[in-house]
Structure 1
Amino acid sequence: MRDQVSHDKYGLGRVVAVEEDLAVVIDFGAETRRLTAPYAKLVKL
C-alpha cells in the first residue's frame, strides 16, 4: 500500500499505514501525520 493522496493543508503525501478504518498514517515528506476518520480534506490520487 503506497497510495498517493492530497490534503488541503499538508499537500501531497503517501499512505504508510491504515489503522482498521479509524485512522491513516501519511508521509508528507517534511512530516508524518496520523489523520482520523472522517478524512474530509483528503483525496486519493
Structure 2
Amino acid sequence: MTPSPARRRHLASSPFQPNPDPVIEQFECGDLVSHDSYGMGRVVDAEAAAVTVDFGARRVRITSPFAKMSKLS
C-alpha cells in the first residue's frame, strides 16, 4: 500500500481557498454497495470506523474512509 500524501498547511495570507475535508459516506446494515476490487455486496455489520460486507464468496471488513466503495440506490 502506498501511504497517502500529507495534507498541506493552508496559509492565512493565501488567496486560494483551503481544500475541503473529504466527506466520509455512512453505511447501514442492509445497504447494497459496490467496491472497486470486490464488486457488489451487502453491508452485514456497521461500526463507527469500519463495515463488514458480504460479497457472496467472502466477507470483508473495510475500514473508513471507504475510498473504493460507494452506496448503490
Q: Decide: shared fold, TM above 0.5.
A: yes
What SS does the aligned partner of 2:67 have? coil
The number of aligned residues is: 44
Structure 2 residue runs of 5 or longer lacking an equivalent are 1-28
TM-score (norm 2): 0.58
Deviation at 1:29, TM superposition (A): 0.2
| Greater gyration radius | 2
Higher relative contact order (CA 8 A, sep 6+): 1
Structure with more strand by fraction: 1
Map of 1:1-45 to 2, 5 A cutoff?
A: 1-19=29-47, 21-45=48-72
Unmatched 5+ stretches in structure 1: none
RMSD between aligned residues? 0.6
